[in-house]
Every structure is written in structure tokens, then in C-alpha cells.
Amino acid sequence: MGSKDVYFFGGTMTEGNAQMKELLGGKGANLAEMSLLGIPVPPGFTITTEVCNKFYTEGKDAVVKMLTEQVKEAMGKVEKVVDGPKFGDKENPLLVSVRSGARASMPGMMDTILNLGLNDQAVEAIIARSGNARFAWDSYRRFIQMYSGVVMGMKPVEKDDEDVFEEIIDELKHEKGIKLDSEFVTEDLQELVKRFKAVIKDKLGKDFPTDPWEQLWNAVMAVFESWMNDRAIFYRKLNNIPAEWGTAVNVQAMVFGNMNDRSGSGVAFTRDASTGEDLFNGEFLVNAQGEDVVAGTRTPQQISLEGSRRNAVLKGFSEEERKASGLSLEEMMPEIFKELTAIQKKLELHYKDMQDLEFTIQDGKLWLLQTRSGKRTGAAAVKIAIDMLNEGQIDEKEAILRVDPQKVDELLHPIFEPEALTKATVIAKGLPASPGAATGQIVFFADDAEHIMKAHVGRKLILVRIETSAEDLKGMDAAEGILTARGGMTSHAAVVARGMGKCCVSGVSELRINYKMRTLTIGEKVYREGDWISLNGTTGEVYDGQVDTKPAEMSEDFETLMKLTAKFARLKVRANADTPHDATVARQFGAVGIGLCRTEHMFFEGKKIIAMREMILSETTEEREKALAKLLPLQQEDFEGIFMSMQGLPVTVRLLDPPLHEFLPQDITGIEEMTEAMGISESRIKQKMSALHETNPMLGHRGCRLANTYPEIAVMQTRAILQAALNLKKKGIEVFPEIMVPLTSSIAEMKMQEGIIRKTAQKVFEEMGDSIKFEVGTMIEIPRAALTADQMAESAEFFSIGTNDLTQMTFGFSRDDIGKFLPIYMEKGILKEDPFQVIDREGVGQLIKMAATKGRETRPNMKVGICGEHGGEPSSIEFCHIVGLNYVSCSPYRVPIARLAAAQAAIRYK
């Protein structure tokens, strides 16, 4: 054959490097890279991805034949590096691991075999050399279990299939009267090996293979086979990974941290993963394997003396107590510590990022098993990025790319005190509807929340509702957080809470709320009004009792990062804001305009809701105009406030969108209030409510359908917008109004609205003797509007893509109702992501792209943006950048996230 199919790594003979991921897979390439850096890595070799393809075209025998010489040679090099143990040797056997490693990470999809090379002789040799019989037998029985599962097909496939090995283990426990695996003594493990072998012989009619080479070849082939198992195929399909990529196979010498007291295992971070401080830190355990460090059965020791001392201060330990609780690695094995310190520095400088390391010390020798970019908090991410930029390790683009925009959210909302959180109990889990942490006393009614807060400033309340409606706004504002039993990520509660920057957990289906009794029942436990609970809106967790929180802290580094984004982002970031307060917050966070000002939220206060209801109850155009005349000055005032907050920046005002019945009272009390306030009969209200009832309100009489049937509504709103703008203009304030028509599905609808708006504008300008520039555009939120965007652009001067509704209609999913199947769809992998959170690029994305492309065919400089929840979600923002939109608009508290995501997209996709 002559081709090179096996690449050695380790010692000074490494053949691959980090650039060779296509051939060696991610794992193989990185092991080679570490080795090239001179870092001690257990030696091994990688069989290339191309061999995997040969395996499928030419079969097992051809592949074994082709590889035999190369593998033998590579194994020879491994033996040379480990200098002593030899593969298959009876006195000093070399054990290896066999692992898959594809070009893209496919966690858990394919198989791994550890401790390969063990057999009855080898186990004795290991005992002889390590002096640790239990360790050796436990390794052996695990090897048999793993190998016969993966290679010999004895692994249960479906969850109901029997697992013969687990049955044997349970049987022996029963016989011995013990409960835990750790209670097995050496003889028990020996017994297990015996029974395992017997059951294999019984089931398969053949013996467990004792020849290490036979074991090795079979294991390698099994890894190749696992590339085509159902899980892997499904995973690749979901992640668009071509089958032709194949997987590499890594064969690597085993090292053992649990061999003796000159051994150990640990994990370390090159900087503080919580604060970002430039401090090498980590934990380790003597005479232990990697799993033991994370398992928590033994308390790990600190790596550095400084870390150990800081820890002692936190715990209030004296120096004596500190030493008694466990010395640091620096104290116990100073040479190893020095070597590790040098390695971590080297790795960080090489990878130019904070690293998360795994190491094992075997009999006084340090081995690195893994290095990867370390996970970190949002605060740490920002600090590390800016520090490394200042250190000259990375450039500005890289600094921006280093911060996960999702993590930035943490910096903008309160979080739980880490200490308090360790003692808290999760009682339920729902959707992480609006981030942040909140603790407070339960209240069930929005009115109550409002009244309590007026009477007792400083009280902390959690508003608990089956679902919220527009009437609950003030109560939501008064509460620390909102918890609902129904509703998804884009339910009323979720959307409003995010807009307020307030914590919310929604759709917690296990909540049973009894409004009459004022109780909340979760499982067996009953919570009453006034009881404390806590919410984590970032994770969706609900906690029992009071869990202390601490406020958001925005660092100087964060400001630096935000300034950097402006240098690179091409997408503009606007905010969705309906009040002067929201507008001001958004502006502080760096929004360059309002992309969505919803006028309907304005109608829910005092006089406005009364006039609105009069309008709805009108039977004639005249009555309707009379009621609208009352609304006009109130709306105008609202607009003046918002225009003032946003002076100098554009404000997109969306005309009335929701169905009229949303403005009618939702219950008997509301109806009674209405009859009193308006002096009309209950039956008339009920009659109107019934007339306005819709089977599918989402697809009903709303948006421009309202204003096309009752044009006087659009007339009033246009008046209010332009009169407000002209009033401010008189005072020398710059205003850029953009009037947006919602829910258009055809050019005829749009043209009719445009006509009404322009005609009204002309009248207003004549009346006021002055004029102002304004634009008329439309939401693209109905599939048909996207499909016919070339026509829509004949009338619309800008498009704002309403991805919430567009997603609803493109998928046929009601966001109010998806709670019944979306969680199951996610669990079964039918949906990888909630399409209401992350833009579905394959489906909805086609329509977004079509809207922009077709719109610009007609109007080449068409401004196209998105509003809706996706405007603040990084992957969606990236997509908007890729398809060439002009801006995204999101809730004020997500503006920084959007700015960062926009900059990242611009760097990644030019």
C-alpha cells in the first residue's frame, strides 16, 4: 500500500500535529500537539480516518493486513517511550486504551475500551509490580465488561434489554449482603471475573480472548464499526456531519494514578474560572484516579500553597487545621508542582486561552491526559479576554470571540450568593424564561403584589400565576420574579419579564395552583401566600425557601469589551421598548434606536383602557372615532416620552397588533369594574366578548386586519405619532419616526395601510403647518409576506422580520401551546433547539433570507431587521449577519449580548 495510516505521538517521535484534525480526528491531533510541545503525554498512536473509510469499502481483513506492520512499529515506539512495559509481555505488560476520535466532537456516540491487554497472566504481573491486587482485579473485571460489551455485542441496546453483567454484580452483592461496588474485596472482584467469563462462554459459545493482539485488533475494528451505529448516524444527521469523514482510532498507553502513594490524579485551571483572576489553581488526590477527584467521595487537596491558604481562610481554618485537612501538591510533591506550573504556563501561551488540564502522576512521574479551553463564568470570560488582550497574547478580534455572549447575560442580572446556593433545594424545574435570580414571598394576584409593594416598600415578592395576561403588568413589575405553570419561552410572562429585565421561570407543569385557596402545591408540599421561594431564571430552577441573591456587577473590563464590539459589528442593535424607562435602559446599554415600540402595552393603564374599551364596544364608525379621539392625546403623550428618550435615534412604532378581545376584562371582577366605569350593561359586554371570541386568535382578526377593517384606528395612531414628533421638533429635538404595519400578508393590505397613513400625515402636516420625514414599513411575520417580499417592498420602505410569529406559522406551532410537546420533542431529539429561542435556519431561515433578497430586488437599499425574541440570541444574530440584515432589535437587557454576538458574527463571517 505504501500509504501512511498510523501516526505515532509521544516522546520526541511525534508525527502529527494540531493542524491534522481531518486525518487524525480532534483527539489524535491534540495529543500529538501536546507531545510536540514537549509535554509528557502517555505515548500512543492514531489510526487515520481514511482507514475507517477503507474499513467500509474493503472490509476488515484488508484493513488488518494493511495496518499490521504499521501498528507493530508504532507499538514498538510506545514501548520505547514507556521504557519497560511491553504490549503482551508476561512480566511487565503494557496496557492501552482504545478510543474513537472523529474530526468533529461526537460526545458519547462511539465506544471506548480501557485497560486493554489484560488477561489472567497480565493481572498477576500488574499485581506483582504495583503491589495492589484490588486495583488490578477491578481493572480486569471492568475491562471484560467493557470489551465484551463493545466488541462482542453483549451491551444492552435498548433500555429494557437485560444487562447480564449488572445482573451478576447484583447477585454477588446479594450473596455477600453488601450494597456498594466499593464494598467488594479483592476476592469478590476475582469471583466476578470468573462469572463474567462463564456467562460469555455460555451466551456466545466462545471464550473471552486472552491474546492482547487479538484484543487490540478487535477493539480497533469495533471502534470503526461504532461509526455506523444508530446513535452515531442519528447524531451526524442532526449535526450535518458527513459519513465520509470517518473516525480515527487512538491507541494510548494506560497510566494509573491509583497505583501507589507516589501516584495521584488532578484537574487544574490556568486562571480562576470563576473570577478570571490570573491564578493557577486546581485540585488533586493522592493514589486516586481522575474519576475520584470529581466523584466527591474524598475531599480533594489544593494544587498550590496559595490556593490551599485562601481556601483555609474561607473555611476559617488555622494553619494547623489547614495542614491536617490535606497539604497542597506544592508542599507534597514540589518537583511535580514545579513541572506542572511550567506546563500550564506553556499550554496557556501556546493555546492563548485559559486551559482546563487533567493530569495523572504514576509512581512519581507526571503525565498530562488532556488540555482544553476551560469553562468559565461570564465575569471570568470578560476579565480573561481583556487581560489577555492587554498582555498581548490575543488581538481585539480574538478577545471578542473569547466571550460567550450567552454568559454576558449573567453580568446583567442578580445571581444567587454561591454559598447560599449550596444549601438550597430544587423543588421544581421549568423553562428559563427570563434570566437572573430572585427570592421572595409568594403572592398569587398581580393586584395584591402592587398593593403590598405600595404599603411595604422593600418587601420581596414572587408572583405565582397559572399564566399572566396584560392586566398583570403592574403586579409583575412590583414582584422580584415571576413563576408560571403554563406558557413557553415566548409566553406573555416570559416576554414581558425579559423586557423588564426581571427573573421569570415559566411552564412549570408540576405546579398546582389554587387561586381560591391561595395555595401552590408541588408534589406533596403545599406553599401558602407569604411562604418564601426562589427562582433561577437562567436555569429554570425553583428553590424552596429564601436563597440570598447579589446584584449584577458591570466591570470596567466589560465596558472595554463593549467598546471593542463597535469597531467590528456590522449589524446595528436596536431595542424593543414600549416606555421611556425601557428606552432609557436600552440606550444606556448601547442600543442605537428602537426597533419595536408596541403600542398595545400603552393601552392598559387607567383612562386609556377605558377609552380603548369604549372603542371596542362601538357599533358605528362615528362611535369608534369618538372613543379614539379620547385615546389620541394619551397616545401622543406616550410617544412624546419615548421620542424624547430616544432623541436623535430612529424609533419604529408598530401600529395596534393584538386582537381586540385582549383589551376586554378577563374575569367577572373585570366585567363588573367595566360596567361601573362605563355605565353599560354586563350583557352587552358579554355579548361583545362572545362576538370577539376566536378559535385561533393567533390567526384571527388582528394586526393590519383590524386597521383595514377599522381604518380610523390607524388614522388615530398615525396622528398621535406625527403630532408627537412635530411637537418635539418645535422644541428642537430630533425625531425619526418609522411607522410599522403589523401582520401583512399581501401587498394589497400594505398599500391600503400606507394610503391611510400617508393621507393622515398630509392632513396633520397641513394642520400643524410643518412636516417631518418619516418612513412607512411593515413587519414580515407571515410566511406569505416573506414569499412575496418583492411585492411588499413596492410599498414598504423597511422590513422588520417578526421571527416569533414567523416561527409560529412556519412550523405551525402555537407558542402558547407547545408546552405539551416541545419538551418531548427536545428529549427525543426531534428538535435540537427550541425554534422560538434559536432561529431555525433550515426552515424559517429560508423565509428570512427570501424576505431580504426579494425585498432588495425591488428596493435595493431596503433596510431589513428582525424584532422578536431571536434578536437577542447569539446564534440567531449570527444568522442575521450571514443573510445580510441591517439590524436586530431585542429587549433592553439583551442589547449587550446582541452587540457582542453581532461583532463575533462580523469577525467570523466577514
Known catalytic residues are 492, 867
Stretch that binds its own copies, among 108-116, 554-562, 827-835, 900-908 (CB under 8 A): 827-835
Residue number, 395 or 794, with CB nearest to its own copies? 794
Exactly one of 390, 748, 826, 833 binds its own copies (CB under 8 A); which one?
748
Stretch that binds its own copies, among 69-77, 376-384, 578-586, 698-706 (CB under 8 A): 698-706
Residue number, 532 or 825, with CB nearest to its own copies? 825
Q: How many residues of this chain interact with its own copies, rule: CB under 8 A? A: 49
CA dihedral for 416, 419, 420, 426, sign (positive or negative)? positive
Q: Tell me the backbone φ, ψ of residue 102, rounded to 5 degrees.
A: -90, 175
Q: Is 468 in the site for its own copies (CB under 8 A)?
A: no
Nearest CA to 355 out of 343, 367, 338 is that of 343
Report, in Å, the least distance between residue 346 CB and its own copies: 45
Residue 359, CB half-sphere, CA atoms under 13 Å: how many? 32
Report, in Å, the least distance between residue 854 CB and its own copies: 11
Residue number, 619 or 842, with CB nearest to its own copies? 842
Residue number, 21 or 492, with CB nearest to its own copies? 492
Tally DSSP H helices, then E strands, for the chain.
Answer: 37, 31
Determine the straight-line distance between the first and last CA of the chain, rounded to whole angstroms: 43
Q: Is 16 in the site for its own copies (CB under 8 A)?
A: no
Report, in Å, the least distance between residue 433 CB and its own copies: 17
Stretch that binds its own copies, among 170-178, 192-200, 362-370, 840-848 (CB under 8 A): 840-848
Residues contacting residue 297 through CB under 8 Å, at least 6 positions apart: none
Instruction: Tell me the CA distances in angstroms from 111 to 150, 219, 226, 232, one per residue in order.
Output: 7, 9, 7, 10
Exactly one of 229, 814, 858, 875 binds its own copies (CB under 8 A); which one?
814
Exactly one of 178, 698, 733, 907 binds its own copies (CB under 8 A); which one?
698
Report, in Å, the least distance between residue 274 CB and its own copies: 38
Residue number, 318 or 695, with CB nearest to its own copies? 695
Stretch that binds its own copies, among 83-91, 138-146, 550-558, 701-709 (CB under 8 A): 701-709
Residues 73-112 touching its own copies, rule: CB under 8 A, are: none
The maximal CA–CA distance of the chain, rounded, in angstroms, is: 103
Edge-first strand listing for the sheet containing 511-514: 511-514, 519-522, 525-528
Cell of 675: 360596567
Compute the distance between CA of residue 224 and CA of residue 273 in angstroms, rounded to an integer: 37
Q: Is 427 helix (H, G, I), strand (E, B) or coil?
A: strand
Q: Is 709 in the site for its own copies (CB under 8 A)?
A: yes
Q: Is 665 in the site for its own copies (CB under 8 A)?
A: no
Q: DSSP of 111-147, one letter per residue?
A: -EEEEET--HHHHHHHHHHH--HHHHHHHHHHHHHHH
Residue number, 164 or 782, with CB nearest to its own copies? 782
Residue number, 53 or 814, with CB nearest to its own copies? 814
Instruction: Tell me the CA distances in angstroms from 906 to 400, 592, 862, one per residue in order.
Output: 11, 18, 20
Q: Is 700 in the site for its own copies (CB under 8 A)?
A: yes
Residue number, 187 or 694, with CB nearest to its own copies? 694
Residues 246-275 touching its own copies, rule: CB under 8 A, are: none
| Contact criterion met (CB below 8 Å) for 31 and 41 | yes
Stretch that binds its own copies, among 239-247, 470-478, 538-546, 820-828 (CB under 8 A): 820-828
Report, in Å, the least distance between residue 697 CB and its own copies: 7
| Contact criterion met (CB below 8 Å) for 60 and 22 | no
Nearest CA to 685 out of 626, 603, 606, 614 is that of 614
Cell of 251: 491507541
Report, in Å, the least distance between residue 809 CB and its own copies: 5
Instruction: Tell me the CA distances in angstroms from 893 to 498, 534, 800, one per residue in order.
Output: 7, 21, 20
Exactly one of 420, 787, 882, 907 binds its own copies (CB under 8 A); which one?
787
| Contact criterion met (CB below 8 Å) for 710 and 750 | no
Report, in Å, the least distance between residue 747 CB and its own copies: 8
Report, in Å, the least distance between residue 611 CB and its own copies: 22
Compute the distance between CA of residue 384 and CA of residue 351 in angstroms, rounded to an integer: 13
Exactly one of 843, 858, 882, 907 binds its own copies (CB under 8 A); which one?
843
Q: Is 820 in the site for its own copies (CB under 8 A)?
A: yes
Report, in Å, the least distance between residue 150 CB and its own copies: 25
| Contact criterion met (CB below 8 Å) for 127 and 110 | no
For the CA atoms of the chain, what is the radius of gyration?
33
Q: DSSP of 159-212, one letter per residue?
A: TTS--HHHHHHHHHHHHHT--SGGG--HHHHHHHHHHHHHHHHHHHSSPPP--H
Exactly one of 612, 847, 895, 905 binds its own copies (CB under 8 A); which one?
847
Report, in Å, the least distance between residue 494 CB and its own copies: 14
Hunting for cell 487545621 — which residue is that? Answer: 321
Residue 213 CB-density burial (10 A; 0-12 exposed, 13-18 middle, 19+ buried): middle
Stretch that binds its own copies, among 342-350, 585-593, 695-703, 720-728 (CB under 8 A): 695-703
Residue 560 CB-density burial (10 A; 0-12 exposed, 13-18 middle, 19+ buried): middle
Stretch that binds its own copies, among 64-72, 87-95, 174-182, 825-833 (CB under 8 A): 825-833
Q: Is 620 in the site for its own copies (CB under 8 A)?
A: no
Compute the distance between CA of residue 719 and CA of residue 351 in angstroms, rounded to an integer: 60
Instruction: Tell me the CA distances in angstroms from 475 to 13, 314, 471, 644, 729, one per residue in order.
Output: 69, 40, 9, 27, 36
Report, in Å, the least distance between residue 694 CB and its own copies: 4
Residues 753-782 touching its own copies, rule: CB under 8 A, are: 781-782
Q: Is 705 in the site for its own copies (CB under 8 A)?
A: yes
Cell of 782: 407571515
| Contact criterion met (CB below 8 Å) for 772 and 735 | yes
Element (H, E) at 407: helix 405-412
Compute the distance between CA of residue 710 and CA of residue 616 in angstroms, rounded to an integer: 11
Exactly one of 525, 701, 730, 759 binds its own copies (CB under 8 A); which one?
701
Q: Is 842 in the site for its own copies (CB under 8 A)?
A: yes
Report, in Å, the least distance between residue 838 CB and its own copies: 14
Q: Is 834 in the site for its own copies (CB under 8 A)?
A: no
Residues 499-558 touching its own copies, rule: CB under 8 A, are: none
Q: Is 708 in the site for its own copies (CB under 8 A)?
A: yes
Q: Is 299 in the site for its own copies (CB under 8 A)?
A: no
Residue number, 696 or 861, with CB nearest to its own copies? 696
What are the respective helix, strand and coil percentages of the chain, to the nearest 5? 50, 15, 30
Question: Do the bridges between strand 461-465 and strand 481-484 make them parallel or antiparallel, or are there none, so unpaired?
Answer: parallel
Q: Is 240 in the site for its own copies (CB under 8 A)?
A: no
Residue number, 405 or 703, with CB nearest to its own copies? 703
Residue number, 729 or 841, with CB nearest to its own copies? 841
Report, in Å, the least distance between residue 840 CB and its own copies: 7
Exactly one of 93, 264, 783, 868 binds its own copies (CB under 8 A); which one?
783
Residue number, 600 or 840, with CB nearest to its own copies? 840
Where does this chain bind its own copies (CB under 8 A)?
238, 694-701, 705, 708-709, 743, 745-746, 748-749, 752, 781-784, 787-788, 791, 805, 808-814, 816-817, 820-821, 824-825, 828-831, 840, 842-844, 846-847
